[in-house]
Structure 1
Amino acid sequence: MIKIIRNLLNRENKKIMFSLVTLLIISASVSVYSFLQPTTITNQINDNTAQFQTTYDYKATVTPNVLNPNGGTIEVGDTIFKKVTTAIPFDLKTTVKSENPLTIKGTHEVKLLVKAGELWERTFPLEEKQYFEQTGKDLSIVDNAYTIDIAKLKTFITQVEEEIGVRPEQYALEVIPTIQGTINFNGKEEEIQPQERLVFQYAYDEINLASEKTFTSNASFTTTQTIKSTFQLIGVPLPLIPVRTASTILFILLLISVSYAYRDLVISRHAPSLTQMERINKKHGSRIIPVTQKVTTADKSIFTLDTFKSIIKIADEKELPIFCCKDHQDGGAAYFIVDGDYMYNYETSRTELIRSAKKVEESDKAYARG
């Protein structure tokens, strides 16, 4: 490769040199870009998704009053009047839906947590722990009715306040659905995440809803897929490792070749000019026979030729050797062919320097054609 690039540079072919430099830049860019890319890509494939939904639907059981003369269990909004309310019944539903069948098993229980700010807290069971195990795409884990007994809660809070002598401005009532267990899909197992709570703020004369009534969460089953990275070349995916290797080797070869060839070009441009005799002998030395003196020309017809090309042409046609006799006085030389009574002669002189590289190339091509 180095020899080829040197020859191209010696011919001063700017277009080819520009193409080589462009190829060098491209190979360097490809090499750097390929090394910046990861050798593998990790993808997460979602095999199945389980959606948990917990819904609370509460009402209020009240004593007869002006607003509700008959009393009983009524629909209420976010605010419940504590003085006329004896209980808060509610329905709790927790369902699981998925795209593909799965198995879920574990236990659930429901508790009521009463909190007096940072002062104290107390837990009351609303349901004993129960075991469940179900398989399918649409499952119901909890679907039960529960009651917060406000009358008993008032009695308990009053007793605590009297005993400790501290009365907070408000309390928090939290319904805690404790669901523990696992979800299994195709041999993959995930823990059931805690479900959100239903929260009320329990004040002196009213009870206010302090949370949402519907909560959703997801459990995903994924598969990790690792694939080898590719290099896109004009829309065609190529393996990354071979591209790295090939582009790097090509870049190194081009860099070394162009560097050496450019160095030779600089050296040749600063080298002393050769005489025409030196140029001819260097190029066609294998075909030239040096002699110390010319042959006797008295009995021969001499043809003086204008170019060395003519000597080459005649020697090829007649299959005769080319002789060279140096003229030590002016540094030139005489090149001649002897053909019986004829002698073909071409002479150079020391002062006739070598032509430009472009003209010599054209002359060399002519020699070859001759």
Structure 2
Amino acid sequence: MKLIIDKKIRSGLLFVLSFLIIFICFLLFKGIKYPGFKEDKKLLYNYNNIANIDYKAILKPNTLYGDNASLGDGSIIISEFLDSIKANFKYQFNGERSADIKGDYEIVALLEGTVGSDKDQKILWQKTFPISQKQSFELKDKSVAIEKEVQIKPEEYKAFAQSFASASKVDAQVKLSVVMNINLKAVTDKGVIDKKLSPTMIIPINSNYFEVTKKLGDNKPEAIQKTEKIQLPVSKRNIIFYSVILLILILALVYTILFVQGAENNNPKEKELQKIFKNHGDRMVALSDIVTFNSEYYYKVWSIEDLVKVSDEISRPVMYKFSTDVNEINEFYVCDDRAIYIFFVNKKIEQYKDSKLNNENSMQA
């Protein structure tokens, strides 16, 4: 026994099933033929850069620390007791295999006058003083180590800052940055490494006491890498899932073709209502309850078009009692203060049936 449904619904169902079958076939083909790739990073040459600064504050003879005293890393230093700072700059490059290594380094002192808060600090002036001349190195090895000791006298830089402030009439916060500028190039069997490092020691100049701060950069392992795309294996889980869905859709399509019959909608009332709502739906007002009208005049109109004309003439909406069952929608009406104009759908259907019956009888005669 075939299932009978509306012809348009059957056509739409066949279209949707066909589209889904084509789409699932595409996904199945893509999953088998092009399962995808993933990126894999391969480490070709591992290396690291290690920079450090050790320092010692040499103090003047004083009543607190005595003679020949010094303070180590992390100490709070009283400016009036400070004679000099002895700093030892260290840098080391370590690679996993031998490479052609060359480069140079120098140590400079950068004196800066700044204004503004710590978060919004701007450089007002700066001057660079060489501390050690630029030195080069070149070797073939897997590592290189550099060590340079310098002695800084903050009092000399403070004197320059005071002289500048006196001449310019500008007061500023002054700091001294002692920087080792390092340039290194290592040619390995897997590529070239270019590094520029600047380990720095910062000394406040115009403070009564201070702590030396260090900026060493990131002393973390690095590597020359190569990114490779590796094809993923076919996902059996996805293939099984798509295959099951495809089988269900094909069975549904075959069932619809063989056992579902499309029929024209022969309900004249339903056709008439569909026509009314299609042509005049934007003019309609659906009421949830029946409204009682105390009208002086009561007019039945011939067609929905006549009712719409009345609606336009008196500027009132076309109303009807809403229902989810089309068989319960029987009247459309327009009303004003004196009259109500009504169109009966069932009367229209009866007229249609009578007309059709008369035509059939005439043809038989």
TM range (shorter): 0.5 to 0.7
TM-score by length of 1: 0.53
CA RMSD of aligned residues (A): 3.9
Residue 17 of structure 1 is matched in structure 2 by none
- Residue 122 in structure 1 maps to residue 122 in structure 2: no
**Aligned partners of 1:184 and 1:190 also within 8 Å:** yes
Q: Which runs of 5+ in 1 are unaligned?
A: 1-23, 235-243, 268-370
Q: Which residue of 1 aligns with 2:118?
A: none
SS at match of 2:160: helix
Query: What letter matches 2:231 in structure 1?
Result: K
Q: Decide which structure has the larger Cα Rg and report it.
A: 1
- 1:153 shift after superposition: 1.5
Residues 1:206 and 2:209 are matched in the alignment: yes
> 2:344 matched to which residue of 1?
none
| Counterpart in the other structure of 1:259 | 253
Displaced runs of 4 or more, over 4 A: 27-30, 35-38, 212-215, 244-258
- Count of aligned pairs between the two proteins: 234
**Counterpart position of 1:144:** 148
The yes-or-no answer on 1:45 pairing with 2:48 is no
Per-residue Cα deviation, 1:179-201 (whole angstroms, up to 9, x for no partner): 12323321411220433322222
Give, in whole Å, the separation in 2 of the partners of 1:258 and 1:211. 74
Residue matched to 1:155 = 159
Contact 1:179 1:194 in 2 (8 A): yes
Question: Is 2:63 the partner of 1:66?
Answer: yes
The answer (yes or no) to whether the contact 2:178–2:202 under 8 Å persists in 1 is yes
Q: Does 1:184 align with 2:187?
A: yes
Preserved CA contact (<8 Å) 1:83 1:205: yes
AA aligned opposite 1:204: S
Cα deviation code 1:122-171 (max 9, x no counterpart): 1111111111123434421x201012122322321221122112232x32
Structure 2 residues without counterparts, runs of 5 or longer: 1-20, 115-122, 262-365
Q: Does 1:233 align with 2:236?
A: yes
Q: How far apart, CA to CA, are the structure 2 residues paired with 1:157 and 1:246?
A: 79
Whether 1:83 and 2:80 are equivalent positions in the alignment is yes
Q: Deviations over 1:228-281 (max 9, x none)?
A: 2222327xxxxxxxxx999989987985575245412335xxxxxxxxxxxxxx
AA at the equivalent of 1:219:
E
In the alignment, is the contact (CA less than 8 A) between 2:53 and 2:214 conserved in 1? no
Q: Is the CA contact 2:31–2:234 (under 8 Å) kept in the aligned structure 1?
A: yes
TM normalised by structure 2 equals: 0.54
Structure 1 segment 1-370 matched on structure 2, within 5 A: 31=28, 34=31, 39-71=36-68, 75=72, 77-117=74-114, 118-140=123-145, 142-168=146-172, 170-211=173-214, 216-233=219-236, 255=249, 259-260=253-254, 262-266=256-260
How far off is 1:222 after superposition?
0.7
Counterpart in the other structure of 1:331: none
Amino acid at match of 1:199: I
Indicate how the Cα distance of structure 1 residues 96 and 76 shifts in structure 2: closer, same or farther if over 3 A, else same.
closer
Answer yes or no: is the 8 Å Cα contact 1:111–1:176 preserved in 2. Answer: yes
SS of 1:192's partner is strand
* Residue of structure 2 in register with 1:362 after alignment: none
For the 8 Å contact 1:65–1:71, the answer to whether it is kept is: no
Distance 1:178 1:215 in 2: 15
Contact 1:65 1:84 in 2 (8 A): yes
Distance 2:258 2:207 in 1: 100
